[in-house]
């Protein structure tokens, strides 16, 4: 079940139907990083990640919880990565990985 600050993903969105979509915001710069980000928080969903996708829709993203690295094996497109600590403070950024 989604919290009130989340929205339920619908068919045709970048998120899987039934999942919550998250809005990711850089509050120090008041910049939206993703309008509709899906969250992966299980070992299996983290391994699958973006494998097999042809890309991400404009404004889409993927939140990987409990992760200290991002692997891009078998991916067909480059990604930007933002790593945050437990307080949601950005500690690393990578572009077009």
Q: Return the closest-CA partner of residue 37 out of 83, 67, 12, 6.
A: 6
3-state secondary structure 1-48: CCCCCCEECCCCCCCCCCCEEEEEEECCCCEEEEEEEEEECCHHHHHH
d(CA 70, CA 67): 8
Residue 13 CB neighbour total at 10 angstroms: 17
Query: How confident is the model at residue 18, as a pLDDT?
Result: 56
| Pairing label, strands 60-64, 90-94 | unpaired
The domain limits of the chain are 7-94
Q: Does the pTM exceed 0.75? A: no
Q: What is the pLDDT of residues 1-27, one digit of tens each?
A: 455 455 444 333 444 545 788 888 888
């Amino acid at each position: 079940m989604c919290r009130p600050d989340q929205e339920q993903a619908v068919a045709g969105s970048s998120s899987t139907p039934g999942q919550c979509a998250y809005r990711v915001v850089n509050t120090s710069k008041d910049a939206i990083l993703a309008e509709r980000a899906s969250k992966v928080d299980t070992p299996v969903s983290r391994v699958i990640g973006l494998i097999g996708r042809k890309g991400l829709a404009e404004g889409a993203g993927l939140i990987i919880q409990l992760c200290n690295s991002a692997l891009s094996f078998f991916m067909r497109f480059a990604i930007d990565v933002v790593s945050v600590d437990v307080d949601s403070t950005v500690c690393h950024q990578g572009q077009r990985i």
